[in-house]
Amino acid sequence: MNAVTSDGPVCATLSETARNVLGKRNLVFVGLMGAGKSVIGRMTASELRIPFVDSDHEIERVSRMSIAELFSAYGEDEFRALEARVIKRLLRSGPKVISTGGGAYINERTRKHIHRAGLSLWLNADLDVLWERVNKRDTRPLLKTENPKQTLANLMAARYPIYAEADLTVMSRDVKKEVMVQEILSAIAKGRRRQQ
How many Cα atoms occupy the beta-carbon half-sphere of 9 within 13 Å? 4
Asked whether residue 13 is domain-assigned, the answer is no
Q: Could you say which DSSP state residue 92 is in? A: T
Output the domain CATH number for residue 72. Answer: 3.40.50.300
131 belongs to a structural domain:
yes
Give me the domain span that covers residue 130. Answer: 25-188
In a domain, 20, yes or no: no
User: What CA–CA distance (Å, rounded) separates 76 from 63?
Assistant: 15
Length of the chain: 196
> Does residue 175 belong to any structural domain of this protein?
yes
Asked if residue 133 belongs to a domain, the reply is yes
- Whether 36 is in a domain gets the answer yes
Let me know if residue 15 belongs to a domain. Answer: no
Reported pTM? 0.86
Is 99 among the domain residues? yes
* Digitized pLDDT (tens) for each residue of the chain, 196 residues in all: 444 444 444 457 999 999 999 999 999 999 998 899 999 999 999 999 999 999 999 999 999 999 889 988 998 889 989 999 999 999 998 899 999 998 999 999 999 999 999 999 999 999 989 888 887 766 665 666 677 888 889 999 999 999 999 999 999 988 899 999 999 999 999 874 333 3
The total of structural domains in the chain comes to 1
